[in-house]
């Protein structure tokens, strides 16, 4: 969409204004060509789509799913920048759910893969992934806190023990979560200060607030 300052007319060859009015997100022209040109657009689609409360047009979504493996070609710094923006959006939990839906977790936050469908215990009504999204939805708009929400329970699938009566426990999952978080933050080139802050929150998240 462009604005002609001479004639004061809007130039809208792809009917983008109508899409904005209907809260729809779609690629310009061929979605497959746009994603092939720059695969990071797959994550931008999610940021401007679900994470901001818009509906992604069916063909655009299908093209993203088809070409999601192209995210392997994107530098980790660019991936992190886009993930930061998704997490700072109004609906970060919907953005992460869309990342799962299109198969992009292996190229973004693979530590969450084992959380999907992983049962917790009698103290929780959600599996680990849904619990993480529940926490993220309720986390203040602070990047350190929202990344901490993402990582805080990723160690649970790796620390499960089951008693004779079937009770499930995740002893020391916070320390395993911290190790996994540090590894991912190193891959994504987090700053030293942010890594230290997020790691500390993850490590101590089981401690009583008093």
The 3-class SS string of 147-166 reads HHHHHCCCCHHHCCEECCCC
- Give Cβ neighbours of residue 119 (< 8 Å, ≥ 6 apart): 127, 168
Alpha carbon 48 to its chain's center: 13
Helix (H) or strand (E) holding 56: strand 55-56
Whether pLDDT at 169 is above 80: no
Q: What's the pLDDT score for residue 100?
A: 98
For the chain, give percent helix, strand, coil, nearest 5: 55, 5, 35
Whether pLDDT at 122 is above 90: no
Q: Which class for 163: exposed (0-12), middle (13-18), buried (19 or more C-beta within 10 A)?
A: exposed
| DSSP summary character for residue 54 | P
Whether pLDDT at 126 is above 90: no
pTM for the structure as a whole: 0.92
Q: What's the pLDDT score for residue 167?
A: 75
CB atoms inside a 10 Å sphere around CB 37: 10
Write out pLDDT tens, residues 47-81.
Answer: 999 999 999 999 999 999 999 999 999 999 999 99
Q: What's the pLDDT score for residue 173?
A: 87
Phi and psi based region of residue 122 (left: phi greater than 0; alpha: psi -120 to 50; beta: remaining): alpha
């Amino acid at each position: 969409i462009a604005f002609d300052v001479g004639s004061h007319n809007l130039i809208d060859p792809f009917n983008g204004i109508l899409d904005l009015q209907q809260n729809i997100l779609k690629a310009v022209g061929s979605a497959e060509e746009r994603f092939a040109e720059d695969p990071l657009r797959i994550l931008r689609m999610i940021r401007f789509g679900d994470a901001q409360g818009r509906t992604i047009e069916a063909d655009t979504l299908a093209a993203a799913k088809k070409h999601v493996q192209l995210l392997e070609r994107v530098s980790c710094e660019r991936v992190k920048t886009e993930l930061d923006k998704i997490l700072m959006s109004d609906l970060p939990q919907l953005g992460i759910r869309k990342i799962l839906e299109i198969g992009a977790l292996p190229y973004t936050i693979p530590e969450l893969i084992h959380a999907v469908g992983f049962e917790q215990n009698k103290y929780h009504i959600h599996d680990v992934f849904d619990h993480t999204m529940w926490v993220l939805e309720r986390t203040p708009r602070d990047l350190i806190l929202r990344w901490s929400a993402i990582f805080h329970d990723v160690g649970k699938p790796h620390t499960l023990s089951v008693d004779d009566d079937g009770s499930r426990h995740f002893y020391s999952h916070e320390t395993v979560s911290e190790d996994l978080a540090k590894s991912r933050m190193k891959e994504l080139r987090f700053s030293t200060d942010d890594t230290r802050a997020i790691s500390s929150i993850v490590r101590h998240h089981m401690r009583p607030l008093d």
